[in-house]
Structure 1
Amino acid sequence: MKTMKNIIKCLTASLLVVNLSSCVDLDPEPLSFFAPENTFMDKEGLEALLITSRKQIKWEWFGDAFNAGYCETPLVYEYAWSDISVMGAPEVKEIHNLETQLTPTTNMALHLRYWDLAWNGIKYANTLISRVPKSNIDNEDDKNQLLAEGYFHRAYWYYLLVNQWGDVPLLLEEVTGPKLDFYSTSRMKILQQMKTDMEFAVKWLPKNVQPGCVSRAAGEHLLAKIYLCTGDFQFAVDATTRCINDYGLHLMKERFGVNASDASLDVFNDLFQEDNISASENKEAIFVVQERYGIEGNVAPKGSARMRNFVPYWCNGAAVKTPDGKQGTTYDAGPYEGYEWVEKLGRGIAKIRPTNYSQYAIWGKCGNDIRHNDNNWFNISRLTYNRPASKGGSEEYFGKPIERAFVSDTMRCYFSFPTVKTLIYKDDINVGKTPTGGFTDTYVFRLAETYLMRAEAYYWLGNLPLAKEDVNEIRRRAKAPELPSVTLDDILDERARELYIEEHRKVELTRIAFLKAQLGQDGYSLGNFSEKNWYYDRIMEKNNFFAEEYFYSTNAFIMKPYHVLWPVPLTAITSNTQGRINQNIGYFGAEDNIPVE
């Protein structure tokens, strides 16, 4: 029998093949590269499949062009087309005008990266789910625990797919040969299946796991998300309440971890210190993914790219000038006087640029909210000119605050941002060089979100006092003034303050858009979802760039209602010669759609 290490190596080598195509699992190629007769039939082999499934989730949260062949961490697209932010980089690299640039043939990594990730994640989960009943494992409890985590991984990716693309094929078994007859399945049918699966999973997932593994609390959290999709609001309350009360979790309200003795910091800062995220004393972490320098199993050899993607391009001296016309900033490697800004902020390139809503509006009535203090938020007005005269800078203005009037590109180079979420200082590779973001664990599910999900479930049930209490529980920890009442907007504002770069922002907005249409609220319906939906209306209300069709570089930021869903890659449709994968309304090819079950 192979050792675990050899099994994982063989598995990794096999699965690398499937990452080469932009629509891997829906192309006319075998969806499985395993020999079903003799591979992964014992507990050790099936647990190796779980390791691969957990690693698949890591791809979503780490990586960029330097280490994965793609232009950015996939998560940026959950923020780029949301109320919180837009793409900051020029349109030669990124999409501003969704009407002309976001099409079924778009070839810019973007949403296709999620398509790849999800179908591969579903492939791995289905391989496990199909193999467990055929395995040589005698203990039924062991089988059920393996199935439970397999169901978790499949439901995780389907939750994203149905809120990014809507109706997609429903695959529930391992596919062991070429398959050309996929058919789209209704979003709600998929969600109902995932609900059933996860109701089983939360009975069998282990309560106590090592960080990076999937616990029963993580299952409850995901099940609550699915309940919110299906409109089972009381069940969502029940699942979130179990998650909050039954597994030894609680919001961290007291100082803890490696910097606990530093009185200048605060508990919110503690939550995101690299060494604290997976620490046993951190009772707020539900599900994390881990990237550690030099450890086998990393997906991003250079660590997280969050600093690069979410920090402004402040160091672009050509755009950040001094009043006397000199280049004002630099990211050149130190040491030199002024290099401390490079060490502190790194070399951001502003892949993501915040909207006025997330940069200003949500903080308007927050008092002394610790999430917005100098420990956790960088007000760009604090930045000073750092290019020394010896490097072509201005001797007169060196070390003085940057004057916005002399910044020619405020879109990318001049905005405030939450440092606690974006700056990672354990950059073991770039010691003494220009930092771009290092190694860290990352929250996928955190208990603060569980409270805010329960608040939303209470809101839909009309129980506004309990919704208010859950939102205020988060605000009390942040030392923000308590709200006298709450609306859906208040809950979403709180999510924006608390869960930046943790939640799937676009997915959550689309989920609510579907829910409003399902309930027939505010004039929305499923019958004309791609022509009129809450997601688009909220973007037009909160995202100043899309609302104003702001012109940057050589084109404008443009969005239409049908962009509530992303286009299905054309290759996935055309290669599926014996079936029909529908295209989303608004994109070419939708005229050939057929009814879904």
Structure 2
Amino acid sequence: MKTKFLSKSRFLIAMILLIAVSCDSFVEVDLPKSQLTTESVFENYSTAEAALSDIYSKIRDQGMLTGNGFGISNQLACYSDEMISNESLSNPSFSFYSNALLPTNTYVANYWNSAYNQIYAANSIIKGCEYNTSMTQIERNQLTGEALFVRSLEHFYLLNVFGSVPFVSGTDYKTNSKISKMASEQMYSEIISDLETAVDLLPVSYIVAPRIRPNKYAAQALLSRIYLFSGKFPEASNAASAVINNQSLYSVENINSAFLINSKETLWQLHSGTAGKNTADGAYFIFTAGPPQFVWMSSGLYNSFTAGDLRRAYWTKEVKDASGTWHHPYKYKENFDTSVSKEYTVVLRLSEQFLIRSEARAMQGDLIGAKEDLNIIRKRAGLPDTQALTQSEILNAVLEERRHELFTEYGHRFFDLKRYGKLNSTLGNIKTGWNATDQLFPIPEAEINANPNIKPQNPGY
């Protein structure tokens, strides 16, 4: 049975899940479900930390940001022009590839519900830290900063796939069950405020290796993206620079090392959950014989790489047999367990920061600086310096570089085409089911039925 939007039962389920992850009880005596309060959620730092770890495991395994085929790394790749789907017509996944989503699509409903459940859990941590007296200020800062980071991350993706949605910052189910949409501009302001606070609260160093808990610079990196998407180009450039300039922590890796577990290019990654386990991305995308069971790389993407681009050589792989030739993403090399984990799912990378700063600089007229950043990424890919000269040419070069650097990573291609105003012209020419209204997903029907305040439905649905 589908969950209803931000209902009382969903809040209690979220709280119960938080409590269930700890070996120790969160409270000495379990309270009735109706009496769970923020004051009683966290007994100490260890139980609060366990709750936060559970959020990260949910991000890894459920909802939009999971690395398996269910998540947007695959679904938005199919929805746009990166991947071809071989799923059955009856599979809810195929509706993404055919651009035939309905408000009743179960994957879409799960994206919405999982994101808000994770936001609820993050809000519970924030509230719990406010009331807790057993933790040190450093511990409260760490937990609050991470929870604000998670809340920002989830709201960002909700906003960019659904359009205007509710911004949820509390845990009062009565208030949230009737909450209305927030305008995109205001929501970006709220996300920016959360991330600016997170940057102030989080430490410079990673408290857990290898970079599986966000630090100050992971929050700064997400903030730079938010600034870019909201048109705040000086701020985007400055935030990206803060990350790029910390060369003691970060550097652009060799093309074949970028996604390894100890890569210095990684800003934040998701733990695999079990020793020896690798990424769900690798398990889903990699195949060794054709025809592919699930998805393969579109010829448009594969053929768009310039000859000599090391990303095509090392980040894609050809599978050829008597029935045909296909290519699959090969950023992650492991599709099975190994004796020790070799790869975790990378959510934020340093290379994106160079591309953010390049675009932000170009938008401010700093064409020389924009080209310098672009060429750093091109050099790593084995390519010569860009020949782009004008602002328009440089921006188009950035868009193309993002296509080849960030493919099949959390919907970057779809979001970029939308930001550049090229979504309809690009996808309308290659996808027979594409409509201009497909730039947004439908709001789940069950959510509108539960809370009419989130009407109207998005256009086209």
- Work out whether residues 63 and 303 of structure 1, in 8 Å CA contact, stay in contact via their aligned partners in 2: no
Aligned mates of 2:201, 2:404 — CA distance in 1: 34
Question: Does residue 1:39 correspond to 2:19, yes or no?
Answer: no
Query: What does the per-residue CA deviation read over 1:308-339, in whole Å, with 9 as the maximum and x for residues that have no partner?
Result: 543468334xxxxxxxxxxxxxxxxxxxxxxx
Kindly state the Cα deviation for residue 89 of structure 1 after the two structures are TM-superposed: 2.4
Partner residue of 1:270?
A: 257
What are the superposed Cα offsets for residues 290-322 of structure 1, whole Å, 9 maximum, x if unpaired?
215458xxxxxx864434543468334xxxxxx
Q: Is the 8 A contact 2:332 2:343 kept in 1?
A: no
- The equivalent position to 2:185 in structure 1, one of 184, 188, 197, is 188
Tell me which residue corresponds to 2:78: 80
Q: CA, structure 1 residues 97+226, in 2 after alignment: closer, same or farther (shift >3 Å)?
A: closer
Deviation per residue, 1:39-94 (Å, 9 max, x gap): 21533332222212222321255565xxxxxx734531121112323433242324
The aligned counterpart of 1:220 is: 220
Aligned position for 1:427: 337
Contact 2:402 2:413 in 1 (8 A): no
Structure-2 change in CA distance of 1:131 and 1:113 (3 Å): same
Residue of structure 2 aligned with 1:449, choices 352, 366, 372: 352
Counterparts in 2 of 1:336-347, with a 5 A limit?
A: none
Show the 5 A alignment for 1:116-131.
116-131=113-128
| 1:359 corresponds to which of 287, 290, 302 | 302
- Give the secondary-structure state (helix, strand or coil) at the position aligned to 1:115: helix
Task: Provide the secondary structure at the position in 2 that maps to 1:172.
Answer: coil
Summarize the Cα distance change of 1:142–1:96 in structure 2 as closer, same or farther, 3 Å threshold. Answer: closer
The one of 426, 450, 453 aligned to 1:538: 426
Which residue does the alignment assign to 2:447?
572
2:397 is equivalent to residue 490 of structure 1: yes
Distance 1:484-1:98 versus aligned 2 partners, 3 A rule: closer
TM-score by length of 2: 0.83
2:185 is paired with a residue of what secondary structure?
helix
1:291 to 247, 272, 282: 272
Matching of residues 67-216 of structure 1 within 5 Å: 72-93=70-91, 94-95=93-94, 101-107=100-106, 109=107, 111-137=108-134, 139-175=136-172, 180-209=177-206, 210=208, 211-216=211-216
Q: Which portions of structure 1, spanning 4 or more consecutive aligned residues, are displaced by more than 6 angstroms?
A: 97-100
Distance apart, 1:139 and its partner CA: 4.0
Kindly indicate whether the alpha-carbon contact (under 8 Å) linking 1:424 and 1:440 is maintained by their aligned counterparts in 2: yes
Change (3 A) 1:479 1:198: same
- Listed one character per residue, the Cα deviations across residues 235-269 of structure 1 (whole Å, up to 9, x for unaligned) are 0000000011136234345xxxxxxxxxxxxx312
Shift of 1:160: 0.3
Does the 8 Å CA contact 2:214/2:268 hold for their aligned counterparts?
yes
Q: Distance in 2 between the 1:30 and 1:442 partners?
A: 28
Structure 2 unaligned runs (5+)?
Answer: 16-35
Is the CA contact 1:289–1:444 (under 8 Å) kept in the aligned structure 2? yes
Aligned partner of 1:372 in structure 2 is 312
**Distance change (3 Å), C-alpha of 1:106 and 1:189:** same
Q: Percent identity?
A: 24
Separation in 2 of the partners of 1:176 and 1:582? 22
Q: Distance in 1 between matches of 2:301 and 2:328?
A: 9
- 2:281·2:345 contact (CA, 8 Å) conserved in 1? no
Out of 132-141 and 121-130, give the one that drifted further: 132-141
- Secondary structure (helix, strand or coil) at the match of 1:32 reads helix
* Contact 1:149 1:205 (C-alpha < 8 Å) held by counterparts: yes
How much has 1:370 moved relative to structure 2? 2.0
Query: CA–CA distance in 2 between the matches of 1:443 and 1:304?
Result: 9
CA-based RMSD of the aligned residues comes to 2.9
Q: What amino acid does structure 2 have at the position aligned with 1:583?
A: Q
**1:39–1:176 Cα change, 3 Å:** farther
Q: Distance in 1 between matches of 2:49 and 2:244?
A: 28
Give 1:444 deviation, angstroms.
0.7
Cα 1:535–1:491 change in 2 (3 A) is same
Letter in 2 for 1:427: D
TM-score (norm 1): 0.66
Alpha-carbon distance in structure 2 between the residues aligned to 1:98 and 1:311: 19
Choose 1 or 2 for highest CA Rg.
Answer: 1
Return the match for 2:289 from 278, 302, 314.
Answer: 314
Partner of 2:408 in structure 1?
501
